Amino acid sequence: MKKIKITLLGFAAALMLVTGASQAATPKNTFVLAKDIADIITMDPAEVFELTTGEIIANIYDRIMMFEPEDLQNLVGGVAESWEVSEDGKTITFKVRSGLKFHSGNPVRAEDVAWSLQRVVKLNKTPAFIVTQFGWNADNVDSLVKATDNDHLQITITEEFSPGLVLNALSAGIASVVDKKLVMSHEKDGDLGYDWLKSNSAGSGAFSLKTWKANEIVMLQAHKGYRHGAPGMDRVILQHVSEPSSQRLLLEKGDIDMARNLTPDQVKGIEGNSDIAVDGHPKGTIVYMAANAGHPILGKDKVVQAMRHLIDYDSMADSFLAGQFVVHQAFWPAGLWGALETTPYKQDVVTAKALLAEAGHADGFELTIHTLTNSPFPEIAQAVQANLAKGGIKTNIVTLEGKTLWPKYRAREHDIILAHWSPDYVDPHSNADAFANNPDNRFEAKKTGHLTWRNAWSDDASNSLAIKARNELDLDKRKQQYLELQAMLQKKGPFVIMFQQNEQVARRRNLDGFVSGSNFDLVFYRNVTKR
Amino acid sequence: MTTLTLRGWLLAEVPRSKGQARCQRVFISWLAFKRNPVAVIGLLIIASLVMVALLAPWLTSTEALELNLAKRLQPPGGEHWFGTDELGRDILDRIIWGSRITLYIVGLVSIIVVPIGLVIGVVAGYIGGWVDNFLMRLTDIFLAFPRLILAMALVAALGPGLENAVLAIALTTWSPFARIARAEALTIRNSDFILAARMQGVSTAGILTRHVAPLCMSSVIVRLTLDMAGIILTAAGLGFLGLGAQPPTPEWGAMISLGRQYLIDQWWVPTMPGIAILVVSLGFNLLGDGLRDVFDPKSGGNQ
Amino acid sequence: MIDIQGLDVVFGHGNKAFHAVRNVSLAVEKGQSFGLVGESGSGKTTVLRALAGLLDRVAAVSGVMTVAGETLQQQRSQAFRRHVQMVFQDPYGSLHPRHTVDTILSEPARVHKLDRIEERVVAALEEVGLNASFRFRYPHQISGGQRQRVSVARALITDPDIVLLDEPTSALDVSVQAEVLNLLMRLKREHGLTYVLVSHNLAVVAHVCETLSVMQNGGIVETMSVQQLREHSSTMPYTRQLMTASLGYDRGAIDAFEEFGQ
Amino acid sequence: MRASSVLKAAGPGRALPSKLVKASGVIVSLILTFVGLTAVTFTIGRVMPADPVLAIVGDRASQEVYDQVFLQLGLDKPIYVQYLKYLGQLLQGDLGTSIMTAQPVAEDILRFFPATMELATVATLLGVFVGIPMGVLAAVKQGRWPDHVVRVIGLIGYSAPIFWLGMVALLVFYARLDWVAGPGRLDVFYDGIVDPVSGILLLDAALAGEWDIFDNALDHLILPASILGTFALAYIARMTRSFMLDQLGQEYILTARVKGIPEWQVIWRHAFRNVLVQLITIIGLTYASLLEGSVLTETIFSWPGIGLYITKSLFNNDMNAVLGGTIVVGVCFVGINMLSDLLYKLVDPRVR
Amino acid sequence: MMDAALLRVEELHVSYNTPTGLVQAVKGVSFELGREKLGIVGESGSGKSQTGRAILGLTAPGGEVRARRIEFEGTDLLHADRRTMRHIRGAGISMIMQDPKYSLNPVMTVGKQIEEAFLVHSKDSKREAYRRTLEMLRAVKIREPDRVYRAYPHEVSGGMGQRIMIAMMMIPEPSIIIADEPTSALDVTVQLQVLAVLDDMISERGMGLIFISHDLNLIASFCDRILIMYGGQVMEECNAAELHRARHPYTRGLLDCLPRLGGSQHELSVLRRDPAWLETRGETS
């Protein structure tokens, strides 16, 4: 089928022998998507907190609660068939669906579900805070999370939390149900199978993990016995391609079915290609700028307010961000329950200058903007630099890899950070806790999980409203409180929230059924089909 | 008339002063150099780079470097000869300003690398023995290190930025210079004029600085010129990896790096700075080749 | 003036050691010229360099050397450096290619902190028969004979008592050789210099020296006066063969040559 | 050349059997290089502002989680203790575990290094088989048009930014002309079919008789190898020309011509044999420098090689991986240099 | 003695284009060579080596050769094509250079280099070549020809190297040998031994020899006839035996400025150069 045609290729005047390229199309039963997957460091759902793995484990593991690709708006039971909330809202009892099987063939028992949560708490990896905030710890979790019989799971929280929030939290990655038997058979030195699960899977979801080669490839294999029926594709391959241009070339050539990291201008470039379709998926990721309140000038509310007025949101969103970011100015992403969708700010240099003058900085000052090296952050930073210059604020840009930027941020060593944030789970509390609540502003407190703390900013009104909304049992009231909190943060505080992401995914037209929801882990491969 | 007498003075059989002798030496090298068309082209390229860098404020319009999102990604044409970039800036203007950065890199690396390489090489080669062993081991360690990786590590440690990138490049480039200087010093140290100097009681330091080092200079300079291209490319590579000059500095490598996603549809965005780098490194390479022919007539040129 | 007792020089070490000079002893009177003759590899130049103190980093030197009553230490004194000078074989290699004649000549004066440097330079040039027009030229701008004159001038700048001559004319054409030899003879007369001359050319040695030693394989075969040499009164076959050979090609004589191998 | 070889013989030293001295000298210098290499890397790792703990726990980790991992990694101990501990493990052949890949570093290197080796080998071969004839041609026709053409090609190859060249090549030869395959080592759906025996895909595929895969791997390899090869070619052609000119000016060439030997024999039998001796070092150096992994080429072509691995690890402060990678690369560098010294001695009768 | 001239050179000019202008290395040299030993003597820069190379057509690049005639055994060397020239080199006219250290290929064994010289002009087998090579090595009085055959040039002494050169140049049996300072890198006794070897072979085979040297003494005692060159021109031509009767002031000057073993330490006479020596014979062709 492949004749080796010898072509004489004069490249840089060097003659070399080249074998003819295969006319590529991906196999019918395989879904190949190109993505930058360099962020993967573990496949263990108790530890997974990266964007790519968030998405992968969503396809490997069923969770207690879930959003299903068929309906991304409403939270439904995953392995939980039904649940009951106690009067005081502190105990929830789940009934586990019957007849579910893990990839290994083991049945899914309430014990597996309980053990999965216990494991998260005991291992206490980064995402564990999502459930430990309910008052669970290694000592009490065995009694607070337990299987009452073969198909009933009972959980009890000791802190004040809205049960709606708890259910939402149980749709996060840490609520993935893990095959206890299988994992424990790989346990070493009491590590609860941690070492093994890092690069293996033990779930009951639509796919199982076949291979993971860091910086190269992740291969998933269909779980034919999945509760929603066999997935459309036998195999899903995530190919690591870090260069967006390369992704585009591969897609245009049909060497991949989908490119996930195209830039707006590249999307524009392939518009004319009839083999390719581009879908937009609104995402929960927001782009924001944060000013360190510990800074003598940035600590002044009016200065930050002036910055909000200086930035020309629209021209960015209309040019180099076009299609992939929309203007959004509140901490909870638009389209989600409880989001404030107003955008009160436009570039207004006069107001900004007035505010700066009031703050005593009419003559301007100099700052450093730290941001990430990957597109679009350098571009946004340069635009922001030009915008701020209009108010007399001179800025230097320093771009850093995330791994180098975060330590600076967590040590409060920045002036201004330009970065992004996505919710840990789909509940406004996730972002409110980060953007509005600061339990302890002392440097020694090291409340690094809160962006407020990182920016040395604390406000009693904001703190108390965030807690109040968290604990509110009534859904409507809760929503109102979040709207109020977002409006409050639009006028004060260290954050200038600028954009919300709209993921543009380019796919071959013969491929359908790819679902990408508002959060990073709401990406589903199981409905993908190919013509 | 004046040129005639100047030429006469420069070519006079009998120089009357130290200064004249020195000028004559330079002039005669220049005559030899001039006969090498390749080298002259190289020199012309470098000279125009310097000119462009000096004249940058007059060659560009002031607002050209400002963002103009309405005019982004315009193809090369009458208004923007090299087109505009992703933020609507004139690429030609940015390349012109970038020439200053290129020169800055080149200059800074040279003034760090040459003295380090020369001192280590000359001392090792001339003194020999365990001093030589120690210094050469040190050099080997730096040679064995993956160069770009060491540079990246250093930049990462020092923090990104042009100065740090240059420093990192310098710290990773000196080793070959030390080797060259050492090799030269080894051949020089047994020549009769060194023995003569020792015979006259010239101190070791005096021999090193006045006798050995000046003779190593020419090969070091030739190598430096030939390496310049590599240095520019390494700086560009660091810029490409986001470790060099920070935006919006118009460093050519960084321009390619940020512009690379536009290669397919807006080819001019990464291509123009790419060509700029190509031309300038070509210039340095040509110049280096030419200098080598002048300094070292045995390879190249007629014998 | 010069007294060398039991000089041994070994280059390298281990099984690569090369014993270049073995047990050489010689003495030179003040104002005398002493010649060292031998074929290449006989060790004659090594003896000269050992005396000059130029081997300290490359070879192991043992033996007692006394110059003007001072027993030499491994590190030569500045006084020694001033009073003992040397002229090298290769006029192309013994002058620094990047220094002008002026720089070359003034350096020793500066090192020894002499006064009136400029005057000395001009005087030394005159002394060797070069006029002031040579002062600012580079070595590559002057001929081989002129360079060798500059070498001689450099040796004279510090008013030395002893000049070591290492094949000073072997790289020169015969006509130039004659000029340089005449110059050396004149300088010796005028300054009362002591020479040690190394050469493979018997005629040159006979022309310049009063006494000579013939060297072979690192050792001295025979020491005699030039008068004895001229009278063919040498008893050593090696010396006699050298004599015959230096007279020119004689097919008949060659078959009688012996191998004085190592 | 001549002068320095004379000098070597006259070096000073003590009275020890010279072979033993030489051998122990090589070993000592290897150990020193090795210790120096690791020490420098280790120090860099410690002064890097990137935080290895954060690389593991992520940006949002609470301080409690952070502290726990901090202690696990032994970062509370003084740096020399950490370094000695690392050296100790190293001596037992344990390179530690990579944060980034969750695999033992040794296994990672076994995966990434062959990819680089494959690339570097093909690139070097290209440089040798095209560059040498070009250089010889240029030298023989010195000053005439073939010389100018070769020099210009060489200089351009030497002057072009490799990442830019790579991108353009990818666009032209892959996207537009469709002559070669795109980024990556293999079309992904071929992945995992062939067992990695050597890690070098071409070899493994050939061994397994999977010619489709061989063909595909070759397709993927050709472009990045050519790009790297251009650089090697430019350098080798340039050095060949220079060495060749040097040799053609030697007296023995005149001797050969006096003998009436045809010109091509003068060039290839006489001059080139001598050039080859010098070229060995150059080729060795080129190969070693390509083995360091061209980070840029690997980035552009999504080539999972050692350069990219070290770079990524560096950015993640995955110090075990960086150290492991650097050691392997450094050892390769030293090894190749020693090998080319050895070859040099085999080919050049003068230094035997 | 000069029954049939092997080589006729008339009005040979060699010039080089250098950065400082045209340099005339040889200006109108004419001579004939029979089966004899012709010495060309002169100081450095006199054009003696250039004359030798021009005959073989091996002037360095950048040099230009003009002549009224260069004829070897009836062949016009000036207009010979490359093949003819190649055949004449080695098989017709051969050349021995100054220093065997540089004129032997350092990475080829001695034996191979000699064999090569034989095979390039002969259709004989390798075996025959080997036999002839050993024979040749014996002929130049090398004691262990087998060992030397396998040796590399750096492993032999200077005298032995020059014997090897002689063997290599003699093996295709040329009619003329040009020896360009063949012994000046050697010690006196070795020098004479090598010359004896050369002498014997030349006379045995009835060849012509052009012996180029700066050593007047040596040439006078070794050659039959002498050309004295200065400034690219022939000053005087005389029989070796009659050198002491030479009339040209340049020749006389050269003879007088030599220190003599038997002489005293008087002032040596110094050569006075007269520009008129060069003017009398301008370029005529």
> What does the pLDDT read at residue A4?
32
Report how far residue E109's alpha carbon sits from residue E129's, in angstroms, rounded to the nearest whole number.
14
Report how far residue A4's alpha carbon sits from residue C207's, in angstroms, rounded to the nearest whole number.
84
Interchain contact, A22 vs D181, CB within 8 Å:
yes
Say if D and C touch: at least 3 Cβ pairs within 8 Å: yes
Between B33 and E208, residue with greater pLDDT? E208
Give the model's confidence band at A22: pLDDT under 50 very low, under 70 low, under 90 confident, else very high.
very low
E253 touches chain C (CB under 8 A): yes
Q: Which residues of E touch D274 (CB under 8 A)?
A: 105-107
Residue showing tokens 């002499």? C114
Phi, psi of E250 (to 5 degrees): -65, -45
Q: Are B166 and B108 in contact (CB under 8 A)?
A: yes
Q: Are A254 and A25 in contact (CB under 8 A)?
A: yes
Q: How far is D208 from chain B (nearest CA, A)?
A: 34
| Mean pLDDT across B97-121 | 90
First to last CA, chain A: 23
Q: How far is C20 from chain B (nearest CA, A)?
A: 17
Q: Which of B13, B25, B203 sits opposite C138 (nearest CB)?
A: B25
Q: Interface pTM (ipTM) of the complex?
A: 0.80
Average pLDDT, whole number, for chain A? 90
Q: Are B161 and B254 in contact (CB under 8 A)?
A: no
Sequence-separated (6 or more) residues with CB below 8 Å from residue C101: C125, C134, C135, C136, C137, C138, C139, C142, C150
Report how far residue C163's alpha carbon sits from residue C156's, in angstroms, rounded to the nearest whole number.
9
Report how far residue A12's alpha carbon sits from residue D227's, in angstroms, rounded to the nearest whole number.
9
E88 touches chain D (CB under 8 A): yes
Phi, psi of A146 (to 5 degrees): -150, 155
Q: How far is E133 from chain D (nearest CA, A)?
A: 15
- pLDDT tens-digit readout, A316-332: 999 999 999 999 999 99
Report how far residue B144's alpha carbon sits from residue E205's, in angstroms, rounded to the nearest whole number.
61
Interchain contact, A42 vs D102, CB within 8 Å:
yes
**Is pLDDT at A131 greater than 70 in this prediction?**
yes
Domains of chain D: 105-347 (1.10.3720.10)
Residue closest to B266 by CA, chosen among B101, B71, B95, B68: B71
Residue showing tokens 């005669």? B28
Q: Which of C203, C241, C249 sits opposite E261 (nearest CB)?
A: C203
Does residue D16 sit in helix, strand or coil? coil
Interchain contact, D252 vs E116, CB within 8 Å:
no
Between A378 and E270, residue with greater pLDDT? A378
Q: Which residues of D touch A7 (CB under 8 A)?
A: 179
Residues of chain E in Cβ contact (below 8 Å) with chain B: 19, 60-62
Size of interface B-D (CB pairs under 8 A): 150
Say if C and B touch: at least 3 Cβ pairs within 8 Å: yes
> Mapped to the 3 state alphabet, what secondary structure does chain B carry?
CHHHHHHHHHHCCCCCCHHHHHHHHHHHHHHHHHCCHHHHHHHHHHHHHHHHHHHHHHHCCHHHHCCCHHHCCCCCCCCCCCCECCCCCEHHHHHHHHHHHHHHHHHHHHHHHHHHHHHHHHHHHHHCHHHHHHHHHHHHHHHHCCHHHHHHHHHHHHCCCHHHHHHHHHHHHHHHHHHHHHHHHHHHHCCHHHHHHHHCCCCHHHHHHHHHHHHHHHHHHHHHHHHHHHHHHHHHHHHHCCCCCCCCCCCHHHHHHHHHHHCCCCCHHHHHHHHHHHHHHHHHHHHHHHHHHHHCCCCCCCC
A311-343 exposure pattern, b = at least 16 Cβ within 10 A, e = fewer: bbbebbbebbbebbbbbbbbbbbbbbbbbbeeb
Residues of chain B in Cβ contact (below 8 Å) with chain C: 13-18, 20-21, 25, 128-129, 191-193, 195-203, 206, 210-211, 214-215
CB count in 10 Å sphere of residue C112: 17
Q: Which of A128, A237, A407 sits opposite D188 (nearest CB)?
A: A237
Q: Are B240 and B251 in contact (CB under 8 A)?
A: no
**Which amino acid, one-letter code, is at D101?**
T
Domain boundaries, chain B: 44-65+78-113+144-172+203-300
E107 touches chain D (CB under 8 A): yes
Cross-strand pairs, A501: A325
E154 touches chain D (CB under 8 A): yes
| Mean pLDDT across D149-167 | 82
**Is pLDDT at B100 greater than 80 in this prediction?**
yes
Residue of B nearest to C133 (CA): B14
Report how far residue C110's alpha carbon sits from residue C115's, in angstroms, rounded to the nearest whole number.
8
First to last CA, chain D: 15
Q: Which range (A2-6, B132-136, D259-263) has the least confidence?
A: A2-6
What's the burial of B58, exposed, middle or buried (CB within 10 Å: 0-12/13-18/19+)?
exposed
Report how far residue B253's alpha carbon sits from residue B98's, in angstroms, rounded to the nearest whole number.
10
Q: How far is B254 from chain A (nearest CA, A)?
A: 11
| Mean pLDDT across D128-151 | 89
Residue C81: both structure tokens together: 């450096």
> What does the pLDDT read at residue D6?
30
Residue showing tokens 């007035």? A354
- pLDDT tens-digit readout, A48-90: 988 899 999 999 999 999 999 998 888 999 999 999 999 888 9
**Is pLDDT at D206 greater than 70 in this prediction?**
yes
Interchain contact, E62 vs B302, CB within 8 Å:
yes
Give the model's confidence band at A31: pLDDT under 50 very low, under 70 low, under 90 confident, else very high.
very high
Crossing angle of helices D306-315 and B147-158, in 10° steps, is: 10
Q: How far is A36 from chain D (nearest CA, A)?
A: 10
Q: How far is A510 from chain B (nearest CA, A)?
A: 24
DSSP letters for A367-419: EEEEEESSTTHHHHHHHHHHHHHHTTEEEEEEEE-HHHHHHHHHTT--SEEEE
Average pLDDT, whole number, for chain E? 87
**Is pLDDT at A166 greater than 90 in this prediction?**
yes
Residue of B nearest to A245 (CA): B261
D3 touches chain C (CB under 8 A): no
- pLDDT tens-digit readout, E16-32: 887 667 888 899 899 99
Q: Which of A7, A252, A253 sits opposite D179 (nearest CB)?
A: A7
C260 touches chain B (CB under 8 A): no
**Is pLDDT at E3 greater than 80 in this prediction?**
no
262 residues of chain C, pLDDT tens digit each: 899 999 999 988 777 788 899 999 999 999 999 999 988 888 899 999 999 988 877 888 999 999 988 888 888 888 899 899 999 988 888 899 888 899 999 999 999 988 888 899 999 999 898 888 888 888 888 888 899 999 999 998 989 999 999 999 888 888 889 999 999 999 999 999 999 999 988 889 999 999 999 999 899 999 999 888 888 878 888 888 888 888 888 888 888 887 765 4
Interchain contact, D262 vs E87, CB within 8 Å:
no
What is the pairing mode between strands E225-230 and E37-41? parallel
Sequence-separated (6 or more) residues with CB below 8 Å from residue D340: D280, D281, D283, D284, D285
What is the pairing mode between strands E233-239 and E225-230? antiparallel
Interchain contact, D259 vs E90, CB within 8 Å:
yes
Which chains lie within 8 Å of chain A at 3 or more CB pairs, if any? B, D
Say if A and C touch: at least 3 Cβ pairs within 8 Å: no
Residue of E nearest to C230 (CA): E262
Q: Are C222 and C236 in contact (CB under 8 A)?
A: yes
The CATH H-level superfamily of A1-60+205-275+509-531 is: Periplasmic binding protein-like II (3.40.190.10)
B32 touches chain E (CB under 8 A): yes
Interchain contact, C13 vs D17, CB within 8 Å:
no
C167 touches chain B (CB under 8 A): no
Omega into A376 within 30° of 0, i.e. cis?
yes
C247 touches chain E (CB under 8 A): yes
Report how far residue A65's alpha carbon sits from residue A44's, in angstroms, rounded to the nearest whole number.
18
Domain boundaries, chain A: 1-60+205-275+509-531, 62-185, 282-502
How far out from the chain centre does Cα A251 lie? Answer: 24
Interchain contact, E257 vs C177, CB within 8 Å:
yes
D333 touches chain A (CB under 8 A): no
Phi-psi domain of D95 (left: phi exceeds 0; alpha: psi -120 through 50; beta: other): alpha
Report how far residue A426's alpha carbon sits from residue B213's, in angstroms, rounded to the nearest whole number.
70
B13 touches chain E (CB under 8 A): no
Give the model's confidence band at B303: pLDDT under 50 very low, under 70 low, under 90 confident, else very high.
very low
Size of interface C-D (CB pairs under 8 A): 29
Best of E105, E108, E156, E184 to disrupt the D interface by mutation (most D CBs within 10 Å)? E105
Q: Which residues of D touch C59 (CB under 8 A)?
A: 10, 12
Average pLDDT, whole number, for chain B? 83
Fold that domain A282-502 belongs to in CATH: Dipeptide-binding Protein; domain 3 (3.10.105)
| Mean pLDDT across B259-283 | 88
Q: Are A53 and A209 in contact (CB under 8 A)?
A: no
What's the burial of B300, exposed, middle or buried (CB within 10 Å: 0-12/13-18/19+)?
buried
How far out from the chain centre does Cα A10 lie? Answer: 46
> What does the pLDDT read at residue A53?
93
Report how far residue D88's alpha carbon sits from residue A446's, in angstroms, rounded to the nearest whole number.
35
Would you tell me which residues 172-231 of chain C have a C-beta closer than 8 angstroms to some C-beta of chain B?
Answer: none
Say if D and E touch: at least 3 Cβ pairs within 8 Å: yes
**Is pLDDT at A216 greater than 90 in this prediction?**
no
Cross-strand pairs, A524: A515
Report how far residue B252's alpha carbon sits from residue B269's, in angstroms, rounded to the nearest whole number.
11
Best of D2, D18, D351 to disrupt the C interface by mutation (most C CBs within 10 Å)? D18
Interchain contact, D260 vs E103, CB within 8 Å:
no
Phi-psi domain of C233 (left: phi exceeds 0; alpha: psi -120 through 50; beta: other): alpha
C16 touches chain D (CB under 8 A): yes
Interchain contact, B200 vs C158, CB within 8 Å:
yes
Phi, psi of B294 (to 5 degrees): -75, -45
> Mapped to the 3 state alphabet, what secondary structure does chain C carry?
CEEEEEEEEEECCHHHCEEEEEEEEEEECCCCEEEEECCCCCCHHHHHHHHHCCCCCCEEEEEEEEECCEECCCCCCHHHHHHEEEECCCCCCCCCCCCCHHHHHHHHHHHCCCCCHHHHHHHHHHHCCCCHHHCCCCHHHCCHHHHHHHHHHHHHCCCCCEEEEECCCCCCCHHHHHHHHHHHHHHHHHHCCEEEEEECCHHHHHHHCCEEEEEECCEEEEEEEHHHHHCCCCCCHHHHHHHHHCCCCCHHHHCCCCCCCC
Fold that domain A62-185 belongs to in CATH: Dipeptide-binding Protein; domain 1 (3.90.76)
> How much of chain B exceeds pLDDT 70, in percent?
94
Best of B141, B234, B302 to disrupt the D interface by mutation (most D CBs within 10 Å)? B141
Crossing angle of helices D105-140 and D201-208, in 10° steps, is: 100
Size of interface A-B (CB pairs under 8 A): 69
Interchain contact, B237 vs D163, CB within 8 Å:
yes
Q: How far is C95 from chain B (nearest CA, A)?
A: 5
- pLDDT tens-digit readout, A282-297: 999 999 999 999 999 9
Give the model's confidence band at A18: pLDDT under 50 very low, under 70 low, under 90 confident, else very high.
very low
